[in-house]
Chains A and B, each alone.
Chain A
Amino acid sequence: MTMLNERQQLSYIAAQAADARLNVELETDGMTLNIGPQHPATHGTLRIIARLDGEQVVWAEPVPGYMHRGYEKLTEVRTFPQVTTLINRIDWLGSFANEVPFILAAEQLMEIEAPPRAQYIRTILFELSRIANIGLFLGDLGVQMGAVTPAFFGFRDREYVLNLIEGATGGRFHPNFDRIGGLKDDLPKGWINETKQVMKRLRGFCDEIEDLLFGNEIFQSRTRGIGVIPAEVAKSYGLSGANLRASGVDWDLRRDQVLPMAWDKADFKVWTHPDGDSWARCWVRLQETREATKIVDQLIDDLPAGPIMAKVPRIIKVPEGEAWVSTENPLGEMGYYVISKGDLGPFRVKIRSASFNNISITPWVLKGVYVPDIITILASLYFILGDIDR
């Protein structure tokens, strides 16, 4: 502008003003689209308010809370052993994984530690629930994009994992198996051999999904370069789990912290992807499933003998104190901040669930995408509604 003379400047300004007038005249009213609370892509009752310009999202906001069950408050009127019944309903697809951090926090306050065999079995069941959870994700991914068939493959092979969990714990969805100081029971007879076969089968399932879905050009064109979350943004919004690793941040609580669990005994790789798009998030989860089957295989091979329960009093009173334990759950970092006043039950429990933080990025990531991409991005962020609303 400084290089122009006054006349040119005036004509430039006039042209700009004319453009602006034209834009105002041609501007159409946006449309506000309520995606959910009853919508198949929201896995339950998440509501996303999206303001659209044509098919492009101008502004979006998630509205959680339609399924709020008040678990944090409910824990205050339960005893410590009763709490596991509640909290394995948070992320209902990987229920056992929800119990572990709470029990670990309670054990930390009581200053006891589960015997090695219990630690191993806990880790195995933890990884099995990870497979059950992500197995459904891999199948569901296709449905969100219109491919129906992979979903049934997902359900078919997930069923074997659920059978294993049922065989060991007695519950397919809500095992309620973890106890302060150890586990309820030992593994049943024949379980180990069956687990080995199922793990082999699941690696086949991963290959199948990789062929059917990840190798599909339409799938690639729908996910590559869509919903890119750079590492800095991902960190600032508090993403965790595969969503964070897909943005290139090498961060896995299984490896990075010391817990009385058996992950340090197994040799596994933490996969990251530099791209940060929907494709990367899906791919990291696929690799994670493969790693989980390997962890289970390794831990089963060197399962130590011994008791499955440490010495705990019959009536559990947790000493006064505060504890924070978080683990790498299927959906991301899940942690419990437990405050005990020395009673039968906790005084206050704060649950940090992964999905709540993971969907907090939706206003940022959905800006400027098209309506079909909302669905793929939500699918790739992967949330469980119970994990958002608790």
Chain B
Amino acid sequence: MTSLLAVEVPYWGQSLLRVLGGIVAVLLPAGTIVYVFLFKMMSFMQSRLGPMEAGPYGSMQLLAEVGKWLQKEDIIPENADRVTFKMAPLIVLVSTFLLVVVVPFGPDALMTDFQAGIYYALAIGSVSVIGILVAGWSSANKYSLLGGLRAAGQLIAYELPMVLAAVGVVIQAGSMNLQQIVVAQNTYEIFGLDWIGMPFVITQCVGFVIFMIAVQAELTQPPFDMPIAESELVSGYMTEYSGFRFLTFFIAEFATAGVFAFIASVLFLGGWGVPFSWFGWDTVDSVDNWMNVVGPIIMLTKMMLLVGIIMWVRFTYPRFREDQLQQFAWKVLIPVSILNIGVTAILKVAV
């Protein structure tokens, strides 16, 4: 743990690296997602070019946007609850940073090796609800309030299928530690083929689909974007925010998309690892040091793949109505995920 690329790093150095790593792991995906998907993929799907002026193919557009937002006037509505109004975007962004803490990016490239990692991640993931609810209430705006309440109802409803979908993985891996889940996927074998490992997306395909749907709802992306719903609630809880506070919400939205995709790729797609049999490894400690560099790249690739799917759905589907969404969660997703847990548990014991 103390060596990174065969260089001894003192404790303060490790801490610094982890803080930097955390910031990079949150902001880099957010920026990449916004440019690649929100600016470019969306434009190509809609038969237009997207930003083309700032930098080659508009690649500097994001910086221009950030500059624009920072220059804007910071407006706080007169009747708003000032303290909580200012606090809300920070709560949302901080929950994203807390979330990335448990995600492993390599054998040693991780912020913290937490035994109950998945438990922690799913618990912290719903902290953002508080921020959204606070934002909706403190804005002193009816649309914001409706948006905040919708968000609360929706995120609570979709927290459950997400947890239940992850339980299947936990049962199969026999651990709640995200690092152990990665190791399990890369050391297990399926049908006696040890060279492909066993990414749980194969055995837990039902769980994977449920997890991705729940992530979509958790991120309030269409078709589950009733809390934002710009055509009816005029951006819901974000209506009254401007300038850098809106920017904070915006970064948090896409950073959370990235982090949830990281978690999904750890749970279902084998995380940072390659099948250990390729290089003759058997445990985490025996993994070569260069995986600390290759691992994050593998994670980033998988993350982009998953976010690509999330965004693809986002740009295509119209949105549900609030009650239809609740029905979908309680009547379809939760029963199916409970069934999935049962089947997984039986097979785990029987086989």
Contacts and interface: CB of A to CB of B under 8 A. Distances in A.
Q: Do A and B assemble together?
A: yes
Interface of A: 31, 33, 39-41, 55, 142-149, 151-153, 156, 212-213, 216, 218-219, 221-222, 370-375
Provide the main secondary structure of the chain A interface.
Answer: helix
A143 B45 CA distance: 15
Contacts of A33: 142-143
Interface string B310-325: 0000011111111110
A149 B231 contact: no
Given A147-B222, A375-B231, A218 B48 contact: no
B29 interface: no
A38 B307 CA distance: 34
A31 B229 CA distance: 19
A55 B153 CA distance: 13
Contacts of A153: 46-47
A370 B226 CA distance: 12
Contact of A146 (B142, B222, B234, B324): B222
24 contacts: A31-B142, A40-B230, A40-B231, A41-B231, A55-B146, A146-B223, A146-B225, A146-B231, A146-B317, A147-B222, A147-B317, A147-B319, A148-B46, A152-B46, A153-B47, A213-B318, A221-B320, A222-B318, A222-B324, A371-B146, A372-B229, A372-B232, A372-B321, A375-B232
Contacts, number: 79
B45 A149 contact: yes
Interface string B207-248: 000000000000000110110011111100000000000000
B318 A146 contact: yes
A145 B231 contact: yes
A147 B315 CA distance: 6
A372 to B, nearest CB: 5
Interface of B: 42, 45-48, 142-143, 146, 222-223, 225-226, 229-234, 315-324
Given A153-B46, A370-B321, 15 more contacts: A40-B231, A40-B234, A55-B322, A144-B232, A145-B318, A146-B231, A146-B319, A149-B316, A151-B46, A152-B47, A218-B317, A218-B319, A372-B232, A372-B321, A374-B232
Contact of B321 (A31, A143, A148, A222): A222
Contact of A41 (B226, B232, B315, B321): B232
Contacts of B231: 40-41, 143-146, 375
Given A39-B234, A152-B46, A372-B226, A147 B142 contact: no
Contacts of B222: 146-147
A218 B321 CA distance: 9
Contacts of A222: 318-321, 324
A41 B317 CA distance: 18
A212 B142 CA distance: 33
A221 B233 CA distance: 20
Contacts of A374: 232
B200 to A, nearest CB: 28
Nearest to A32: B142
Contacts of A40: 230-231, 234
Contacts of B321: 221-222, 370, 372-373
Nearest to A372: B321
A146 B230 CA distance: 8
Contacts of B230: 40
Most buried by B among A40, A55, A146: A146
Contacts of B142: 31, 33
Contacts of B316: 147, 149, 212
A371 B321 CA distance: 9
Contacts of B232: 41, 144, 371-372, 374-375
A370 to B, nearest CB: 6
A156 B45 CA distance: 12
A145 B317 CA distance: 9
A159 to B, nearest CB: 11
B225 to A, nearest CB: 6
A47 to B, nearest CB: 14
B322 A216 contact: no
Contacts of B47: 152-153, 156
A300 to B, nearest CB: 27
Most buried by A among B48, B222, B231, B233: B231
Contacts of A218: 223, 317-320
